[in-house]
Amino acid sequence: MGKIEKKTAKGRLDKWYKLAKEQGYRSRAAFKLVQLNKKYNFLEKARVVIDLCAAPGGWLQVASKTCKPGSLIVGVDLAPIKPIPNCITFVEDITSDRCRSQLRGYLKTWKADVVVHDGAPNVGAAWLQDAYGQAELVLMAMKLACEFLGPGGTFVTKVFRSKDYNNLIWVFKQLFNKVEATKPPSSRNVSAEIFVVCRGYKAPHKLDPRFTDPKSVFEDVPEPTPNAEAKVFHPEKKKRSREGYAENDYTLHKVVPVVDFIRADDPINILGTSAEIGFPEDDEEAQKIRKMSITNEDVISYCSDLQVLGKKDFRDLLRWRLKVRALYGLGKKNKPEGEVAQVEEMPEMDEEERLDQELESLNEVERAKLKRERRRNNERKKKEITRMQMGMEAPMDIGLEQIVGEEVFGLKSAEKHGLRTFEHSEMPAAVEDEEATIEDDEVELDSEDEKENLEEELDLMYAQYTDRKSEMDAKFRVKRLRGDVNDDEWEGLDGAAKADSDEAESEDEETSERLTTSLEDSGPTQSGLSRKAALFFDQDLFEGVDEEEEEEEEEEEEQSGDDAAEEEAGPDAESEEESEDNNDIEIVPKEADSDDDGWDSDSDNEKRENIDIVTAEAMTLAQAIASRSKSKADLIDEGFNRWAFQSKDGLPDWFLDEETKHNKPKRPVTKEAVAALREKMKALNARPIKKVLEAQGRKKLRAMKKMQRVAKKAEGITSSDMTEGEKAKEIGRMMARAMKKKVRPKPTIVVARGANRGLASRPKGVKGRYRMLDPRMKKELRAQKRIAKKKKKHH
Give me the active site residues, please. 158
CB of residue 84 vs ligand SAM: minimum separation in angstroms?
10
Q: Which stretch binds ligand SAM (CB under 6 A): 25-33, 251-259, 556-564, 719-727?
A: 25-33
Q: Footprint of ligand SAM on residues 496-525 (CB under 6 A)?
A: none
* Cβ atoms of residues 344 and 500 within 8 Å: no
Closer to ligand SAM by CB, 95 or 670: give it. Answer: 95
Tell me the residue number closest to ligand SAM, measured at CB. 58
CB of residue 122 vs ligand SAM: minimum separation in angstroms?
7
- Residue by residue, DSSP assigns 554-601 as HHHHHHHHHHHHHHHH-HHHHHHHHHHH-SS-----HHHHHTSSS---
The phi, psi pair for 289, rounded to 5°, reads -65, -40
By CB under 6 A, is residue 80 in contact with ligand SAM? no
By CB under 6 A, is residue 75 in contact with ligand SAM? no
Q: Cα dist. 549→147, 507, 556, 585 in Å? A: 40, 22, 11, 22
- Distance, in Å, from the CA atom of 322 to the CA atom of 311, rounded to the nearest integer, reads 17
By CB under 6 A, is residue 263 in contact with ligand SAM? no
Looking at residue 27, what DSSP letter applies? -
Closer to ligand SAM by CB, 40 or 233: give it. Answer: 40
CB of residue 123 vs ligand SAM: minimum separation in angstroms?
9
Return the H-helix or E-strand segment holding 302: helix 297-304
CB of residue 195 vs ligand SAM: minimum separation in angstroms?
11
Closer to ligand SAM by CB, 94 or 458: give it. Answer: 94
* Cβ atoms of residues 207 and 160 within 8 Å: no
Whether 244 has a binding-site annotation, put simply, is: no
Return the H-helix or E-strand segment holding 119: none
By CB under 6 A, is residue 540 in contact with ligand SAM? no
Closer to ligand SAM by CB, 58 or 495: give it. Answer: 58
Q: Which stretch binds ligand SAM (CB under 6 A): 88-96, 356-364, 676-684, 753-761?
A: 88-96
Q: Which stretch binds ligand SAM (CB under 6 A): 76-84, 242-250, 441-449, 631-639?
A: 76-84
CB of residue 82 vs ligand SAM: minimum separation in angstroms?
11
Q: Which stretch binds ligand SAM (CB under 6 A): 93-101, 323-331, 381-389, 584-592?
A: 93-101
Nearest by Cα to 578 from 557, 562, 554, 561: 562
The phi, psi pair for 635, rounded to 5°, reads -60, -40
Q: Judging by DSSP bridges, how do beta strands 112-117 and 87-91 pair with one another?
A: unpaired
CB of residue 314 vs ligand SAM: minimum separation in angstroms?
38
Q: Which stretch binds ligand SAM (CB under 6 A): 24-32, 217-225, 378-386, 523-531?
A: 24-32
CB of residue 345 vs ligand SAM: minimum separation in angstroms?
49
CB of residue 65 vs ligand SAM: minimum separation in angstroms?
13
Q: Footprint of ligand SAM on residues 31-60 (CB under 6 A)?
A: 53-59
* Cβ atoms of residues 653 and 463 within 8 Å: yes
Whether 118 has a binding-site annotation, put simply, is: yes
By CB under 6 A, is residue 184 in contact with ligand SAM? no
Which amino acid belongs to residue 715?
E
| CB contact burial 490-510 (16+ within 10 A = b; e otherwise) | bbbbbbbbebeeeeeeebeee
Long-range contact set of residues 282-291: C-beta below 8 Å, sequence gap at least 24 = 283/257, 283/259, 284/341, 285/259, 285/340, 285/341, 286/257, 286/258, 286/259, 288/431, 289/258, 289/259, 289/262, 289/324, 290/258
Exactly one of 7, 79, 634, 646 binds ligand SAM (CB under 6 A); that residue is 79
* Cβ atoms of residues 82 and 56 within 8 Å: yes
Which amino acid belongs to residue 106?
Y
Whether 774 has a binding-site annotation, put simply, is: no
Q: Footprint of ligand SAM on residues 114-133 (CB under 6 A)?
A: 118-121
Closer to ligand SAM by CB, 1 or 271: give it. Answer: 1
Closer to ligand SAM by CB, 57 or 226: give it. Answer: 57
Kindly state the greatest CA–CA separation across the chain.
131
Closer to ligand SAM by CB, 83 or 528: give it. Answer: 83
Q: Cα dist. 341→252, 260, 527 in Å? A: 29, 11, 50
User: Interface mask (CB under 6 A) for ligand SAM, residues 652-681, using x and -?
Assistant: ------------------------------
Exactly one of 29, 142, 217, 258 binds ligand SAM (CB under 6 A); that residue is 29
CB of residue 81 vs ligand SAM: minimum separation in angstroms?
8
Closer to ligand SAM by CB, 26 or 477: give it. Answer: 26
- Distance, in Å, from the CA atom of 289 to the CA atom of 258, rounded to the nearest integer, reads 8
Nearest by Cα to 684 from 617, 614, 622: 614
Could you tell me which residues come within 8 angstroms of residue 436 by beta carbon, excluding any fewer than 6 positions away?
Answer: 293
- Distance, in Å, from the CA atom of 529 to the CA atom of 526, rounded to the nearest integer, reads 7
Closer to ligand SAM by CB, 93 or 446: give it. Answer: 93
- Distance, in Å, from the CA atom of 748 to the CA atom of 340, rounded to the nearest integer, reads 65
Whether 599 has a binding-site annotation, put simply, is: no
- Distance, in Å, from the CA atom of 412 to the CA atom of 405, rounded to the nearest integer, reads 11
CB of residue 68 vs ligand SAM: minimum separation in angstroms?
20
How many residues at the interface with ligand SAM, by CB under 6 A?
24
Q: Which stretch binds ligand SAM (CB under 6 A): 112-120, 317-325, 393-401, 524-532?
A: 112-120
Nearest by Cα to 224 from 596, 654, 540, 660: 540
CB of residue 601 vs ligand SAM: minimum separation in angstroms?
22
Looking at residue 664, what DSSP letter applies? S
CB of residue 199 vs ligand SAM: minimum separation in angstroms?
20
Exactly one of 94, 175, 289, 324 binds ligand SAM (CB under 6 A); that residue is 94
Closer to ligand SAM by CB, 137 or 262: give it. Answer: 137
- Distance, in Å, from the CA atom of 545 to the CA atom of 527, rounded to the nearest integer, reads 14
Q: Judging by DSSP bridges, how do beta strands 149-160 and 193-201 pair with one another?
A: antiparallel
Q: Which stretch binds ligand SAM (CB under 6 A): 113-121, 257-265, 568-576, 699-707?
A: 113-121
Which amino acid belongs to residue 555?
E
Closer to ligand SAM by CB, 112 or 137: give it. Answer: 137
Exactly one of 1, 34, 454, 541 binds ligand SAM (CB under 6 A); that residue is 1
Whether 170 has a binding-site annotation, put simply, is: no
Closer to ligand SAM by CB, 116 or 179: give it. Answer: 116
* Cβ atoms of residues 311 and 654 within 8 Å: yes
* Cβ atoms of residues 267 and 321 within 8 Å: yes
- Distance, in Å, from the CA atom of 643 to the CA atom of 120, rounded to the nearest integer, reads 51
Which amino acid belongs to residue 297?
E
Could you tell me which residues come within 8 angstroms of residue 71 by beta carbon, excluding any fewer than 6 positions away?
Answer: 46, 47, 48, 49, 63, 86
- Distance, in Å, from the CA atom of 114 to the CA atom of 227, rounded to the nearest integer, reads 36
Q: Which residues line the annotated binding site for S-adenosyl-L-methionine?
A: 57, 59, 77, 93, 118
Q: Which residues line the annotated binding site?
A: 57, 59, 77, 93, 118
Site residues, ligand SAM (CB under 6 A)? 1-2, 26-27, 29-30, 53-59, 77-79, 93-95, 118-121, 137
